[in-house]
Amino acid sequence: MASTTSVLPHARLPLRPLQSCLLRQYNPLHDSLLKQVLIPQDTYLSLQWWASPLHLDSGRLFKSPPISRVVATDASTIGWGAHCDSAYIHGTWNEMEKRLHINYLELLAIFKALRAFEPLITNQTIQIVTDNTTALYYLNKQNGTRSRRLLNLTLELWDWCCIRNITPQAIHIASTDNHMADVLSRRTYNNHKWSLLHSIFVDLCNVWGTPSIDLFASQFNKKCPLYCSRAGQGPGSLGDAFSLKWPQNLLYAFPPIPLIQKTIIKLQESPTTLILIAPWWPRQPWFATLLSLASNYRKLPLRPHLLSQSNGSILHPDLQSLHLTAWLVHSH
């Protein structure tokens, strides 16, 4: 089986669970060749890959396909960062992730970057630039046997890539040369300052009309000449949205997630129509009310720049979990 890894693409992936199983139960220096080894269920399932003609009849190209894009990544104890072409992204670790080994975080940073840049890299061969040799080894070898946790993450990463016909190839870079990704991994973003891609906003205006006030904005990311900001600074600012008497005109609101419930309550008290940007999260307590107030809605497309900060230089790290939706809502 090991001899086929040079001619069958991704053959190392289903082989690693068996290797790990043997390493745990069999020592070639002391154990007999006749020793019986128990195969656990997960290892048995991984062996089914070898029974599929679809896998065994495929072959590897003599010449590697050209690199389509380069994704540089890095991880720190604070968070992770990555960039691809002119797109930049970063995120912070939660408390559980902060306790994990840096090698795991480096590989997790690669996986998060690939998922964030999915629309850019699907059906392509991608060069991953990393300064961590362990993450590089696990990615290129399609696993390793020293760390079960790294093994599982690598299997998950490669499974995700195979479904999308993405071929990642990692190369090493010195930490001193991985400057941009390093800076991004140590940078934090403000969860209350995401801005919707302008072309998506224009599309919504073409369908539902142009709003007169942006209820949650700053002078740097406002979608309308008039906007509301708690800071109350800049020309056109009307102050705090919740202190303002909302007019009957069409308004625009992309509130921070913790303020969605409060925004819906304010809408119910106001004779207005609202283009509201909010996640499609049916389990949230505000969702049923939002659905009852909506005359129309559109689920927004997954694009790398759908949400950004700092004039598009920082991208949202996990768009897929938001299921972001534009709602046309009215007070009753």
Q: Are strands 213-214 and 273-279 parallel, antiparallel or unpaired?
A: unpaired
Pick from 91, 77, 74: nearest CA to 314: 91
Residues in the chain: 332
List Cα–Cα distances, 130 to 79, 103, 142, 159, in angstroms: 15, 11, 16, 20
Output the pTM of the full model.
0.56
By the 8 A CB rule, do 158 and 49 touch? no
String of b and e for 218-242 (b: at least 16 CB within 10 Å)? beebbbbebbbbeeeeeeebeeebe
Q: Residue 308 has what pLDDT? A: 81
Q: Residue 11 has what pLDDT? A: 66
| Residue-range domain boundaries for the chain | 2-56, 69-185, 195-330
Q: Residue 263 has what pLDDT? A: 95
Q: What does the angle CA 90 – CA 10 – CA 14 come to, to the nearest 5 degrees?
A: 100
Pick from 279, 215, 290: nearest CA to 252: 215
Range 195-330 has CATH code 3.40.50: yes
Structure tokens at 94: 């939660």
Q: Output the tens digit of pLDDT for each of the chain's 332 residues.
A: 666 666 666 666 777 777 777 878 888 788 888 888 888 887 877 777 777 776 666 666 666 778 889 999 999 988 999 988 877 888 889 899 999 999 999 999 999 999 989 988 999 999 999 999 999 999 998 767 678 889 889 989 988 998 898 999 999 998 888 877 887 787 666 666 788 999 999 999 999 999 999 999 888 889 999 999 876 666 778 888 998 999 988 999 999 888 999 999 999 998 899 999 999 999 999 999 999 999 999 999 988 788 887 776 677 777 888 899 999 999 86
CA distance 130 to 174: 8
Domain 69-185 architecture: 2-Layer Sandwich (3.30)
Place of tokens 């696990």: 138
E-only strand ranges, the chain: 69-75, 79-84, 87-92, 125-130, 167-172, 195-196, 213-214, 226-227, 250-253, 273-279, 294-299, 307-309, 314-315, 324-330
Rg (C-alpha) for the chain, rounded Å, is 25
Indicate the burial class of 217 (C-beta count within 10 angstroms; 0-12, 13-18, 19 or more): buried
Q: Residue 185 has what pLDDT? A: 83
Q: Residue 63 has what pLDDT? A: 67
